[in-house]
Structure 1
Amino acid sequence: MPNNDPIVGFHFSVVFELMPQFSIDTKFQNVSGLKATVETESYTEGGQNRFKHNLPLRSGYQDLVLKRGLTSDMSGLSMWCSQAIENFIFHPANLVVSLLNENGIPVKVWYVSHAIPLSYEFSEFNAEENKIVVETITLKYNFFKEIPVPGF
């Protein structure tokens, strides 16, 4: 039965269509960048001085940013990023971002198409603080679309 309550964003998963893939490759603390925009072109109509017409041109998508705590575990995602950035060998990957309910069942799902790594970053190391090192992966992708979840 559908639930009309707002969905919380703290329980989610990210799954890449990428091999090899290890358990660490689905665990992230933060996902951002699921944003679609429409690029427009202004058109000035002759005799109309109060406003300009804005004509839609094409859709655009923001970069996807994934953050997670750095571990010593082997990561297929890290190897994929390193191969692209260090060797300039790109293998675009698709991924699925899912918001999950309290039972781990997807309630909203987005399919992200043709992602490639743009940057691979680590937070600062500081001997005066006891903080977790955060690994940040920024991806460029072609588009995303929501996949309907039966029952929600």
Structure 2
Amino acid sequence: MADELWPVPKFHFTVEWGGLDIGFQEVSGLEMETQFIEYRAGNDAELVTRKIPGLKKHGTITLKKGVFEDDTTFYDWFADVQTNTERREDVTISLLNEENTPVMTWVVRNAFPVKISGPDLKADANEVALETIELAHEGIEQSAG
């Protein structure tokens, strides 16, 4: 009987940067886009424009994690970037299998925080307080394993 392949669940992953391995609840924004250029030569016999690849475009990466007492990691990085604009970090995001082995890895190059959101506070809620950080970056490299 042939082996059946199953997609990897998305709930088991790690995020690392600057020597830190931080537990996150959610990662979103792992997307890449290529803008296209329309071109038509004046002597082209076909009356259509050609589309060719142009500049790459990347959105922001959004990370959400629980709030822990005395944990100011996001805020420290955000404050440091305000005075040290050269401070960038490569962020590695790995999707793991059941044996904690990466099956897919994304390396976000030269990332820096552009937005931080504290938790929504509600007196009648029974939820974990979450904080959010958005990272601008200069590209994503993806690899298997």
Output the TM-score relative to the length of structure 1.
Answer: 0.79
Whichever residue aligns with residue 130 of structure 1, its letter is: N
SS at match of 2:80: helix
- Which consecutive unaligned segments of at least 5 residues does structure 2 have? none
**C-alpha deviation, 1:45, in angstroms:** 6.1
SS at match of 1:14: strand
Match of 1:64 in 2: 61
Does the CA-based 8 Å contact 1:120-1:138 persist in structure 2?
A: yes
1:2-33 per-position Cα deviation (integer Å, ceiling 9, x unaligned): 983211110000000x26x4xxx510000011
Does the CA-based 8 Å contact 1:45-1:53 persist in structure 2?
A: no
Whichever residue aligns with residue 64 of structure 2, its letter is: K
SS at match of 2:78: helix
Say whether 1:4 aligns with 2:1.
Answer: no
Match of 1:88 in 2: 83
Aligned alpha-carbon RMSD (Å): 2.3
- Counterpart Cα distance in 2 of 1:3 and 1:28: 30
Q: 1:134 to 1:5 in 2, by over 3 A?
A: same
Pairs within 5 Å for 1:1-150: 4-16=5-17, 18=18, 21=20, 25-44=21-40, 51-84=48-81, 87-90=82-85, 91-149=87-145
SS at match of 1:82: helix
Does the CA-based 8 Å contact 1:110-1:145 persist in structure 2?
A: yes
The aligned length equals 140
1:104-151 per-position Cα deviation (integer Å, ceiling 9, x unaligned): 1111111111001110111321223233221100001111112342xx
Does the CA-based 8 Å contact 1:44-1:53 persist in structure 2?
A: yes
- Which consecutive unaligned segments of at least 5 residues does structure 1 have? none
- Counterpart Cα distance in 2 of 1:114 and 1:88: 17
- Counterpart Cα distance in 1 of 2:103 and 2:75: 28
SS at match of 1:13: strand
- Counterpart Cα distance in 2 of 1:29 and 1:40: 35
SS at match of 2:127: coil
Whichever residue aligns with residue 14 of structure 2, its letter is: S
Identity %: 26
Choose 39-48 or 106-115, whichever is displaced more: 39-48
